Structure 1
Amino acid sequence: MTTPTTAETTPGTAEVTRDAIRAAAVLVRPHVRHTPVLDVDLADLGGPAHPLALKLECLQHSGSFKARGAFTSLLTRDVPAAGVVAASGGNHGAAVAYAAARLGVPATIFVPSVTSAAKADRIRGYGATLVVGGDRYADALAASEEFVAGTGAMTVHAYDQPATLVGQGTLGLEIGQDLPDLDTLLVAVGGGGLIGGIAAWFRGDVRVVAVEPEGAPTLHRALAAGEPVDAPTEGVAADSLAPQQVGRLMFPIAQQYVAESVLVSDDDIVSAQRALWDAARVVAEPGGATALAALLSGAYVPEPGERVAVLVCGANTTAVQL
């Protein structure tokens, strides 16, 4: 099998351009929040002293960055009368349900049994039809594909569609506006739609570092193998960062523009969750705290003077769990 070496060699990725991301940013602006940046010192969170910016995308509508891709997809594609369908660990489903409710579109969301109650409740709260079944995201995806075949509904993929990547890329554009002198951005990775869109925006101008749980090293293994390969789907962040394979559309983008991939343990992730809450009163789900875990655990050590930001990408959890 020939592995693509540039984003342009894989059908679909040629659509994930800066121009497309700029256009999507204008389109979704009435529907998404420009989320804040919190300046802290890493020492206040329990790590070594170093200035740090936290991009709080956990404050986005529906509780995660996923709203950007959901609105981009619904606003740029022809939605049939049968509405939209999504398979999700939870956050993507909540975002599609939210976008569909705002735009008056029927939505059916398939999630696996590992989806947290907080995410399932949020999906139901937005008025979508929720279907729970199977143990992992791949099971929900298979069920959603059967539903599409029988109804004609439009699939909104969590990470492996051009509109999704372009929509998530609007977050890269926004981070560039907020932090024009940024050197390095740490981003948690599941299927790769977020880091793929962000990396497509920065195109090497900012060092983008991928952070994954040890129990779900999806991109890490793909980069080592030279192509998307199966990875374990375990760990505390399994409802957001554990697809079986990284997306094929984002993979060549990652090969070109993701500078490094690091892994963190479940204990590191939980510690980062607690640090965000204790020091900054920021609630993050496990996946949302994973990027910070790389700095607190030493999986990524910034150089002196390196201007570093962490993307806190999701907050769909229950505060009392912290």
Structure 2
Amino acid sequence: MVDRTDIEAAAARIGGYIRHTPSYEVRPGLWFKLELLQHSGSFKARGAFNRILTAAEAGQLPEAGVVAASGGNAGLGVAYAAARLGVRAEVFVPVTAPATKVAKLREYGAVVHQHGREYAEAYAASAIRVAETGALFVHAYDQPEIVAGQGTVGLELPEADTVVVAVGGGGLVGGIAAAAGDRARIVAVEPVGAPTLHAALAAGRPVDVPVDSVAADALGARRIGAIAFDLVVGHRVESVLVTDEAIVEARRRLWHEHRIAVEHGAAAAFAGFELLDDPGRTAVVLCGANTDPATLYAEPAHAAG
């Protein structure tokens, strides 16, 4: 289990490498936490730095470097962190990963491998590579160092009654729940077409779900992480589902009303906020900006898997 002490230690460890991103008060009592301004375009750099630096401190960072599997954002965080730290990185992504994310991975100097149409298939290929090379595996969401790193977002939030955050594999919501404790209501938002947390809560344990959503490149995990699930249950996190249509509309509104350009995964949190009754003082975490700006004016066709 990850707790606030682990998150505070992570904040001290990665503080010189990440941005303390601002919270923008949209109107009285509503803030957008602008984590889309983080290095690599999403919160994922936090966990990546914490995982790699922790291994380095323990003398457990191999010469083969690091390997990651990702729908895009986790790989970008790992690639960026590895580049800053002078570590070799290989990143496995599905063939459906957006071209903008793949191009940025290569720009950061990572070796990119594309396998399968879902994150789960890229993950399987990455596991084989780790066995071959002995590289350090940096999980997208289900390692203590990753969850603690992502949880540092929770230390930077304004005082709020409710925190709304999108969920893929659960590293961010789990970390924020651990950081916030019982000081705020945490609402986890997922696409109807990728309900990893919602299904796990119904089953009482993490279970596989099909993935079919416009936000699948960021929220495309097939199963919630075990660490996140335990934290979510322990902190009584609420689960909300939103349709792809609501996600697309939320993304459009963020751009047209606030000139904030986010990917669909980040827009899911705002879509979920719109469904809440009387949330009180609320912080909505806008977690990623790795998107093609052209699609802010003309939405792309539905992207399955």
Q: In structure 1, what is the equivalent of residue 277 of structure 2?
A: 301
Contiguous gaps of at least 5 residues in structure 1: 1-12, 42-49
CA distance in 1, matches of 2:227, 2:237: 18
Q: In structure 2, what is the equivalent of residue 73 of structure 1?
A: 51
Question: What do residues 137-186 of structure 1 show as CA deviations (whole Å, max 9, x unaligned)?
Answer: 000000000001111011000111000001011111111xxx12x10000
Deviation at 1:281, TM superposition (A): 0.8
- Residues 1:144 and 2:126 are matched in the alignment: yes
Deviation at 1:232, TM superposition (A): 1.6
CA distance in 2, matches of 1:40, 1:171: 19
Contiguous gaps of at least 5 residues in structure 2: 297-305
Question: What do residues 7-45 of structure 1 show as CA deviations (whole Å, max 9, x unaligned)?
Answer: xxxxxx2xx12111111101111110011111113xxxx
Q: In structure 1, what is the equivalent of residue 231 of structure 2?
A: 253
Question: What do residues 232-279 of structure 1 show as CA deviations (whole Å, max 9, x unaligned)?
Answer: 211100111121110011111111114310100001001111111111
- Residues 1:202 and 2:180 are matched in the alignment: yes
CA distance in 2, matches of 1:265, 1:184: 21
* One of 283, 288, 291 as aligned partner of 1:314: 288
Q: In structure 2, what is the equivalent of residue 102 of structure 1?
A: 84
Q: TM-score, normalization: structure 2? A: 0.94
**Helix, strand or coil for the counterpart of 1:249?**
helix
Contact 1:209 1:258 in 2 (8 A): no
**Helix, strand or coil for the counterpart of 2:24?**
strand
- Residues 1:113 and 2:95 are matched in the alignment: yes
Q: Counterparts in 2 of 1:164-175, with a 5 A limit?
A: 164-175=146-157
Deviation at 1:302, TM superposition (A): 2.4
Question: What do residues 83-114 of structure 1 show as CA deviations (whole Å, max 9, x unaligned)?
Answer: 00000000000000000000000000000012
CA distance in 2, matches of 1:150, 1:140: 16
* Letter paired with 2:95: S
* Letter paired with 1:320: A
* One of 154, 161, 164 as aligned partner of 2:143: 161
* Letter paired with 2:26: V
CA distance in 2, matches of 1:248, 1:132: 26
Q: TM-score, normalization: structure 1? A: 0.89
Any runs of at least 4 consecutive aligned residues in structure 1 with deviations exceeding 3 A, and if so which? none
Q: Counterparts in 2 of 1:1-322, with a 5 A limit?
A: 13=1, 16-41=2-27, 51-77=29-55, 78-175=60-157, 179-180=158-159, 182-296=160-274, 298=275, 300-303=276-279, 306-322=280-296
CA distance in 2, matches of 1:30, 1:307: 30
**Helix, strand or coil for the counterpart of 1:219?**
helix
Contact 1:17 1:201 in 2 (8 A): yes
Report the identity percentage: 54
